[in-house]
Amino acid sequence: MKRISAVVARNSLFSLTGQVTVKVLSVAFSIFIVRRLGDASYGLYATALAYVGIFAILSDLGLAPYIVREVAKRPERAPMLFANGVLLRLILSTGTLAVIVGSALALKRLPELVLGAAIGGCGLFLYAVRGPIESFLIARERLDLLSAMNVLNQMGFVVLGTLVLFGGLGFIGLLVVSLVSLGISTAIGWRFLRSTSGVSWHPQPQLWPALLKAALPFGVIGFSLGLSYKVDTVLLQYFHGDAVTGWYSAAYNLIFLLTMVSNSVNLALYPALCRQHSVNPQGMPTLYTQALKYLLLIALPVAAGATVLAEPLVHLLYTDQFAASALALRILIWVLPLMFLTEMLGNITVIHDQEKKVARALLVSTAFNVSLNLVFIPRWGFLAASVITVLTEMILAGQYLWLLRRELASVDTVTVLVKPGIAAGLMGAVVFLARGANFFLVVALGAAVYLILLAAFGSLGRQEILLLGDLVRQRAKTQEVS
């Protein structure tokens, strides 16, 4: 248990540090993109990315998460999985690009949207190589190198993208430079992999049918997630135009920015817990409890605060063209604690080799999402999309909780949910009363009130201080080794 805690602490720190760096660059540049493009052009940009995202899983079919789990459990399979994973994804990417462009033309989408989707789809060939590299770095717990790849990729995109936007090349130019920066970071990732793991090239085409069959449940999971998260953007652009899509996407992007904490924790936990499940499954519920507690301690106050401060936040970040984004944000923000929860619960279910049940749960929630979006978006626009997004995540969380009712039976819901929920609610009330003051002062006041309430409720104590100390000490040791 001590070993896995140290590994998770190190990887969480590296992953979070890398993600914070990436996200700081990303959010600053995203704000610049929104301001520079305006609502209509930004809506086209978001739609092109969403359209590619819906079909992207066809270029992978679940191979990436399957490889992570298999290499973590059986490292000796690494050479075979890497070579076959790359070749399979390159072949699948060719068909996927044809589907993306062909379907966009068949639906008679705008020419610039078709071109944008085609350019974005070309990135699938780079991800065919980068994806397996990322999977191996995750499985071998080299999240420091993965973070370096992501930082370099984002830095390249920011620098080149800034030149493109000032040059007036619009969202098409942004999509082109994203390919360039992705190619550079993929080449660097290949060098990282060769220098650390010595993966050799052993393709075995006769194994491809078995690999695809084994990865298929993960593919269903990926397709369901992509469709659920992207279909509303595509439908909004189709029924309500580019500006409305831009308003909604600007709010939704802030939600995905805030998921970096959940992504970091789960990225660090997943490969370690895969092995822990084989070695000492009795100790896993304790880790689940602590992880869920810390995730909700962060997500709930952010949701409560953003609900109250949505308008000044949008005004601070964007132009007056995006004033309508505040209403979408006020609703969408409540998907954040649910996404924190479902990401962790989904990983727990997969760790127990129940990925087929995860796929089934996602199919149910995605069917709900797509059906309601098709019915309500034409009339109610981004308001319907926002509400349906939250309801979809609630349905998914409910299914996971039911599937894991035995594994989570020992979780103290008062500690994990009730106390942070009450503290976040009281903090939200204080923020509401002070909302007319300076934005940054109100945020600082809310944070102080929340921390005081957590301490009073006993949610912050010696264990949390020790955990923070472990993170700091592990970071120091890692620096000494390097």
Contact 274, 69 (CB under 8 A): yes
Q: Between the CA of residue 241 and those of 42, 185, 245, 247, 464, what are the distances in Å? A: 11, 34, 7, 11, 48
Q: Is 479 exposed, middle or buried (0-12, 13-18, 19+ CB in 10 A)?
A: exposed
**Considering only CA atoms, which of 368, 258, 391, 383 is closest in space to residue 330?**
383
Contact 131, 84 (CB under 8 A): no
The number of CA neighbours under 13 Å toward the Cβ of 348 is: 26
The pLDDT profile of the chain, 482 residues, written as one tens digit per residue, is 444 444 444 444 444 555 566 666 777 787 888 888 888 888 888 888 888 888 887 888 888 777 777 776 676 676 777 788 888 888 999 999 999 999 889 888 888 889 999 999 998 998 888 877 877 776 666 766 777 787 788 888 888 989 988 888 888 999 999 999 989 988 888 887 777 665 667 778 888 888 888 888 877 777 777 777 788 888 998 888 888 888 898 888 888 777 766 676 666 666 666 666 666 666 666 777 777 888 888 899 999 999 999 999 998 888 788 889 999 999 999 999 998 888 888 877 777 667 778 778 888 888 899 999 999 999 999 999 999 999 999 999 999 888 888 877 777 788 788 888 999 999 999 999 998 899 999 999 999 999 899 888 887 655 555 544 444 444 444 334 33
Compute the distance between CA of residue 408 and CA of residue 406 in angstroms, rounded to an integer: 5
Q: Is 169 exposed, middle or buried (0-12, 13-18, 19+ CB in 10 A)?
A: middle
Compute the distance between CA of residue 310 and CA of residue 312 in angstroms, rounded to an integer: 6
DSSP string of 372-395, one letter each residue: HHHHHHHHHHHHHHHHHHHHHHHH
Neighbour count for residue 372 (Cβ, 10 Å):
18
For the whole prediction, is pTM greater than 0.75?
no
